[in-house]
Chain A
């Protein structure tokens, strides 16, 4: 039985797809057989971040409609043995997903994988609801600003009331907070909320803090999940996050403004 983890946020553009790719890849790096499912029907993105866009033949909607089987639609990652991607359709709209179909596909994946990562679309409409409905755990991706925090709060409400676990009276979805695009300098200047501010408002367990980083942009441009860039700050922060997700106790990094060395202080940078 796989563990189903939804990566969700309410607000758009906060880093869900970046996170899905990084965490899915990280779990595979740690030896867990993992599939990342793109629920963002019509705005397919995950394949680009994973660098497999040229290999998409069949997609999630094809499988739901019985036009292809899972074997045909799953794309095997070229770098890691136990990592797969189920791409979204670029040509359908979000209503192409329905509960019965999604459940059938997830059940089938569940037999074969350790982890199913669901990359949710933004918003609180049916696509996002479909992505979170069957989840066991949720990673709520939040940027340190008021509107993102508010939307995360809204999604947390949905997780606790509109999910399968809630409807069937099962133990609730395990909620994790992932702060992304964190910029300690701007926090220090009071231009962004701090980790403590966000923690205080959302009151769920902090899974990780990913710094705002050029490495993320470089990674998506080259179709390499940033977690594979192990020298980068964002890559390391995602590695820490995956360890915590697996139950390890890892201290938080990249929370404070980096003290500039003498060289940097003289020459800037």
Chain B
């Protein structure tokens, strides 16, 4: 017999999980549209899993699926479903997945890759022993450090992305995206001298600029996760 022309391999992908109180299509439409409007284009055709853990009635999965495609999202499945919800989800053509460990913002399944969309340039991948950059990261540039920390003696411009499996230190302003703990380590932190980012992410949890406005905006800040919650603290 000739070699099989197909192959099934297990892989892990980062997925966004939607948590909600109300599973009615009308409410979901309103809330989701609001969220998407904050980051136009950012979630276009993003795969999403909906958590049904605290769901009391069986939602109309077919209608929710339709809503997602109207909003240019791809609903791939549900998580945290009991037997009857699983059945309903399967009937609507949805997969049923294991819920991520320890609730809402806990460490997601590895590898918790960055949620950020890739810039249209190949990232500059820097090996573990070369992780200090003297100078600015400009709009459109992407830096990825595998298995180590990234130290930047300069600013990260709007539209630039810096990603590291370890911590990220920025001795200048952060105006672009910074993604630390890209391998899923929730203990990693982001330090910067002037926080004005478009997005920050630690171990797959991420926050857009809007949620970061406030007292710490423009300040020297350390960003980390504590019990799954975003934690901001002044650097000094």
* Residues of chain A whose beta carbon lies under 8 Å from any beta carbon of chain B: 124, 150-151, 153-154, 156-158, 160-161, 200-201, 203
Query: For residue A150, which residues in chain B have a CB less than 8 angstroms away from its CB?
Result: 139, 157-159
Q: A150-B158, A154-B159 are in contact. Are A203 and B136 (CB under 8 A)?
A: yes
The reply to whether the CB of B175 lies closer than 8 angstroms to some CB of chain A is yes
Query: For residue A124, which residues in chain B have a CB less than 8 angstroms away from its CB?
Result: 140
Identify which of B124, B140, B159, B173 gathers the most chain A CB atoms within 10 Å of its CB.
B140
Contact at B135–A157, with CB atoms within 8 Å? no
Contact at B141–A161, with CB atoms within 8 Å? yes
Give the number of A-B contacts (CB < 8 Å).
41
The reply to whether the CB of B96 lies closer than 8 angstroms to some CB of chain A is no
Contact at A154–B139, with CB atoms within 8 Å? yes
Bound complex: CA A150 to CA B157 (Å): 8
Contact at B135–A153, with CB atoms within 8 Å? no
Interface residue ranges of B98-130 to A (CB < 8 Å): 124
Main SS at interface, chain A: helix
Query: For residue A160, which residues in chain B have a CB less than 8 angstroms away from its CB?
Result: 135, 138
Contact at A157–B140, with CB atoms within 8 Å? yes
Query: For residue A153, which residues in chain B have a CB less than 8 angstroms away from its CB?
Result: 138-140, 157-160
The reply to whether the CB of B14 lies closer than 8 angstroms to some CB of chain A is no
Other-chain contact of A154, B124, B138, B155, B175 (Cβ < 8 Å): B138
For the complex with contacts A154-B140, A160-B135, A201-B173, 12 further pairs of A-B residues with Cβ separation under 8 Å are: A150-B159, A153-B138, A153-B139, A153-B160, A156-B136, A157-B138, A157-B140, A161-B141, A200-B173, A201-B155, A203-B154, A203-B155
Query: For residue B140, which residues in chain A have a CB less than 8 angstroms away from its CB?
Result: 124, 153-154, 157-158
Task: Look across to chain B and name the residue whose beta carbon is closest to the beta carbon of A172.
Answer: B135
Contacts A/B (CB < 8 Å), 25 sampled: A150-B139, A150-B157, A150-B159, A151-B139, A153-B138, A153-B140, A153-B157, A153-B158, A153-B160, A154-B139, A154-B140, A154-B159, A157-B138, A157-B139, A158-B140, A160-B135, A161-B124, A161-B141, A200-B173, A201-B157, A201-B158, A201-B175, A203-B136, A203-B154, A203-B172
Task: Look across to chain B and name the residue whose beta carbon is closest to the beta carbon of A155.
Answer: B138
Query: For residue B138, which residues in chain A have a CB less than 8 angstroms away from its CB?
Result: 153-154, 156-157, 160
Distance from A140 Cβ to chain B, minimum over Cβ atoms (Å): 11
Query: For residue B173, which residues in chain A have a CB less than 8 angstroms away from its CB?
Result: 200-201
Query: For residue B136, which residues in chain A have a CB less than 8 angstroms away from its CB?
Result: 156, 203
